[in-house]
């Protein structure tokens, strides 16, 4: 079986999925994660979902990972992070999202190693300084708990040259 996740807007909103047995015909789309309104710092904002990925675990479960974010507070790293959700029945039903990371990020990706450890790689961004790089969290219990993030890739890009109080080197390696 095959599963396809998608979002109908370029910077996220809700996540849908569809299933196929043959990559030719697909089930009707189903809503998986729905954007929602909440209040952060006395302002009503929308939390959006973007960049869904999933992996099949050694026990046969599907583990999904997805970024959530708030456009209005992204630079302050509020209302943004990574969630996981799980299906034990090939995508028919899913658990509620579990927040595994809070902070600005993009494009989480799951990798299941032969020893059963699960790696969650993501673009780890620090918007206030324009820095980014790749970070990693590891689960050794089938995605139920996660290590703190570890930066795994960060390369010097350039010196920030505009008049600013930041006056720092910019790093990236997405």
Structural Rg of the chain based on CA atoms: 17
The CA-atom distances, in angstroms, between 159 and each of 7, 65, 133, 147, 166 are 35, 33, 16, 32, 10
| pLDDT one-digit tens code per residue, 91-148 | 999 999 999 999 988 899 999 999 999 999 998 877 666 667 788 999 999 999 999 9
Buried-state track 59-78, b at ≥16 Cβ within 10 A, e below 16: eebbbbbbbbbbeebeeebb
Sheet holding 105-112, edge to edge: 105-112, 118-126, 131-139, 150-153
In this prediction, residue 30 carries a pLDDT of 96
* Whole-angstrom distance, CA of residue 96 vs CA of residue 138: 20
- For the stretch 61-107, pLDDT in tens is 999 999 999 988 777 778 899 999 999 999 999 999 999 999 988 89
Cα-based distances in Å from 153 to 36, 53, 68, 124, 130: 33, 20, 22, 10, 15
Q: Report the candidate in 140, 65, 144 with the shortest Cα–Cα distance to residue 105.
A: 65
pLDDT reported for residue 167 = 53
- Left, alpha or beta for 68 (phi > 0: left; psi -120 to 50: alpha)? beta
Could you tell me the end-to-end alpha-carbon distance of the chain, in angstroms, rounded to an integer?
31
pLDDT over 80 (residue 156): no
The pLDDT tens digits of the residues spanning 21-53 come to 999 999 999 999 999 999 989 999 999 999 999
pTM for this entry: 0.85
So what's the pLDDT on residue 154? 60
pLDDT at 173 exceeding the cut of 80: no
């Amino acid at each position: 079986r095959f599963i396809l996740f998608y979002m109908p807007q370029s910077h996220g909103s809700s996540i849908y999925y569809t299933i196929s047995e043959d990559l030719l015909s697909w089930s009707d789309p189903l809503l998986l994660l729905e954007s929602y309104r909440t209040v952060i710092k006395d302002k009503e904002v929308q939390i959006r979902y973007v960049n869904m990925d999933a992996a099949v675990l050694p026990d046969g479960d599907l583990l999904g990972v997805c970024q959530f974010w708030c456009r209005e507070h992204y630079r302050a790293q509020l209302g943004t992070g990574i969630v996981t959700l799980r299906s034990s029945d090939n995508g028919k039903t899913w658990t509620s999202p579990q927040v595994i990371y809070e902070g600005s990020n993009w494009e989480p990706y799951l990798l299941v190693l032969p020893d059963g450890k699960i790696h969650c790689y993501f673009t780890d961004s620090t918007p206030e300084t324009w820095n980014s790089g790749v970070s990693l969290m590891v689960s050794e219990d089938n995605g139920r708990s996660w290590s703190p993030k570890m930066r795994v890739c960060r390369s010097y890009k350039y010196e920030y040259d505009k008049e600013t109080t930041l006056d720092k080197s910019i790093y990236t390696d997405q």
